[in-house]
Copies of this chain bind each other. A is one copy, B any other.
Amino acid sequence: MTLDHHYDRFKESMQQFGDLQAAISLMAWDKEVYMPPKGAHFRTRQMMTLEGIAHSHFTDAEFVALVQHLLEHADQLDADAACNVQRTWRELERSLKLDRDFVERRSKATSEAFHAWLQARKENDFSVFAPALDALVTLKREEAARLGYEDHPYDALIEGFEPGETTARLDALFGALSNWLVPFVARLRQRPQVDDSFLRKHYPADAQWEFGLRLLRNMGYDFEAGRQDKSTHPFTISFSPQDVRVTTRIDEHDFAHMTWSTIHEGGHALYEQGLPAEHYGLPLGQYASLAIHESQSRLWENHVGRGMAWWQHHYPALQETFPEQLAHISLEAFWRGINRVAPNFIRTEADELHYHLHVLIRYELEKRLIEGSLTANEAEEAWNAQYGEKLGIEPPDAVRGILQDIHWAHGSFGYFPTYTLGSLYAAQFFAQAEKEIDGLEALLARGECRPLLDWLRDRIHRHGRRWLADELCRKVTGRPLSIDPFKQYAARKFGAVYGA
């Protein structure tokens, strides 16, 4: 067999793996949007079976040998093919380092931690969760050792969510961010507060739904290649670049939730719809990293969707849709209200600035758990102390404190940083777009999003997983990720909002 034939077999196998993932994703989507309640029991086993089959398919000895063979001859492959092989190997190698026994132990510990977390939430008592968290952290440390790392065991875990990212770089970025953000936010807190009470008037569900669809259409989301449904927690899911679905949740007494979660998911979905279909199932057909994915949602949600230009175009229609609620609210007052900054206990309800303080706290704690400088038992106290220090508030209880997120209960140590990285990338990308797209502000103010989408498609989406996140950032913006664009954006916008 020629090398081309080997590559074709590799490609077919990867695409079959993609097909299995798509089936699992469809089961996950259905579970959240349409599955009847009694369907849960068998759905769980069906998803587990398919996950097992997908894993076996990916780590099959013959497939591994095929990838290794191609890897050894990567210099004879064209650039795209070589990239697909190399990026696949990077992921495959990780899988192969974890033997079946370890994966089963991890799966058992994760399941136990998840149930302990549910119980601890019910009792509002962290000590119910702490022993399971401790066991899981021990296993994650073992996982890091098995996977290997150069500097820090946490590096081995980040790699699973954000390939190429390191603890050293995060320490530098997040340290600088914290040093700037904590006093900046504290300063805003001294200013007179803006009013956003109009967002909590009664906004009928049907009209919200229609307005959300209008926003998605305006962004350029392709409804021929996707759809929107309702679910308890909004999410985006892709079965192929030609079938990328979003969900939303509508709260009739909170207009903000539907609106910015729709724009956020729309940003994720535009990325997935823009991935190259010809690389379906292959790294070049997949999103670059979680942080880059998040950069797309945050860019649309915050830089576009909380910007004055966007609402110059959309606010008249919104006022027309909800005249009772908004007729007497000026565009300026609306824009200030939607950019209100105030500390609270819950990460997912945080504003655009405080959000990162929530993330930085989690990053710090999970890094220390993994390196062993903090025990599970000490975690709640450390959590509460950090909230006092960074946000100036004290969580009233565990449910509104350390028990609020599912991530640790799922064993996802290394995931949280991607949220803040996403915002930093978003700011850097958007600053670049403003430089490169003539009159971007004016375009958005006229409702013309296409030039921005085309720019994102060209610079980011179409490249799939060709580069690691930071390489991509250098290609797009000419420099590595820095906190400066975020600082400049935040200082300018929130300075204006608060007249500070």
Q: Are B222 and A43 within 8 A (Cβ)? A: no
Chain B CB within 8 A of A39 CB: yes
Interface of A is mostly: helix
List residues of chain B with CB within 8 A of the CB of A223: 36
Q: A276-301: which residues lie under 8 A (CB-CB) from chain B?
A: 277, 280
Least CB distance from A367 to B in Å reads: 38
A37, B20: Cα distance in complex, Å? 21
Chain B CB within 8 A of A329 CB: no
List residues of chain B with CB within 8 A of the CB of A36: 223-227, 242-243, 245
List residues of chain B with CB within 8 A of the CB of A16: 49, 53
A37: nearest chain-B partner, CB-CB: B224
A40: nearest chain-B partner, CB-CB: B242
Q: Which of A34, A41, A229, A277 has the most CB of B within 10 A?
A: A34
Comparing A23-31, A128-136, A257-265, A462-470, the segment that makes contact with chain B is: A23-31
List residues of chain B with CB within 8 A of the CB of A280: 42
Chain B CB within 8 A of A317 CB: no
Q: Are B19 and A46 within 8 A (Cβ)? A: yes
What count of chain A residues pass the 8 Å CB interface test? 38
A227: nearest chain-B partner, CB-CB: B36
Chain B CB within 8 A of A50 CB: yes
Given A27-B23, A36-B225, A49-B16, A41:B242 Cβ within 8 A: yes
List residues of chain B with CB within 8 A of the CB of A224: 36-38
List residues of chain B with CB within 8 A of the CB of A49: 15-16, 19-20
List residues of chain B with CB within 8 A of the CB of A45: 15, 19
Chain B CB within 8 A of A327 CB: no
Chain B CB within 8 A of A420 CB: no
Chain B CB within 8 A of A418 CB: no
Chain B CB within 8 A of A120 CB: no
Q: A191-250: which residues lie under 8 A (CB-CB) from chain B?
A: 222-227, 229, 239-240, 242-243, 245
Q: Are A26 and B19 within 8 A (Cβ)? A: no
Q: Are A34 and B222 within 8 A (Cβ)? A: no
Least CB distance from A489 to B in Å reads: 34
A328, B226: Cα distance in complex, Å? 47
Chain B CB within 8 A of A22 CB: yes
A36, B239: Cα distance in complex, Å? 11
The answer, among B42, B229, B240, for a CB contact under 8 Å with A243, is B42
The answer, among B24, B42, B53, B226, for a CB contact under 8 Å with A53, is B53
A39: nearest chain-B partner, CB-CB: B243
Least CB distance from A229 to B in Å reads: 8
A497, B274: Cα distance in complex, Å? 62
A273: nearest chain-B partner, CB-CB: B38
List residues of chain B with CB within 8 A of the CB of A19: 45-46, 49-50
Chain B CB within 8 A of A500 CB: no
Given A20-B50, A53-B53, A239:B38 Cβ within 8 A: no
A298-323 contact mask (Cβ, 8 Å, vs B): 1 or 0 = 00000000000000000000000000
Chain B CB within 8 A of A103 CB: no
The answer, among B26, B225, B277, for a CB contact under 8 Å with A26, is B26
A41, B242: Cα distance in complex, Å? 8
Chain B CB within 8 A of A35 CB: yes
List residues of chain B with CB within 8 A of the CB of A242: 36, 38-39, 41-42
Given A15-B45, A43-B239, A53-B53, A225:B38 Cβ within 8 A: yes
List residues of chain B with CB within 8 A of the CB of A20: 49-50, 53
A29: nearest chain-B partner, CB-CB: B30
A241: nearest chain-B partner, CB-CB: B42
List residues of chain B with CB within 8 A of the CB of A239: 39, 42-43, 46
Given A19-B49, A26-B30, A49-B20, A42:B240 Cβ within 8 A: yes
List residues of chain B with CB within 8 A of the CB of A24: 23
A49: nearest chain-B partner, CB-CB: B19
List residues of chain B with CB within 8 A of the CB of A42: 22, 239-240, 242-243, 277, 280
Q: A416-466: which residues lie under 8 A (CB-CB) from chain B?
A: none
* Beyond A19-B46, A42-B242, 16 extra complex contacts between A and B, CB < 8 Å: A15-B45, A16-B53, A19-B45, A20-B49, A20-B50, A23-B26, A23-B46, A26-B30, A30-B30, A36-B243, A36-B245, A41-B242, A42-B239, A42-B243, A42-B280, A43-B240
Give the 3 A-B residue pairs with the shortest CB-CB distance, closest first.
A39-B243, A42-B240, A19-B49
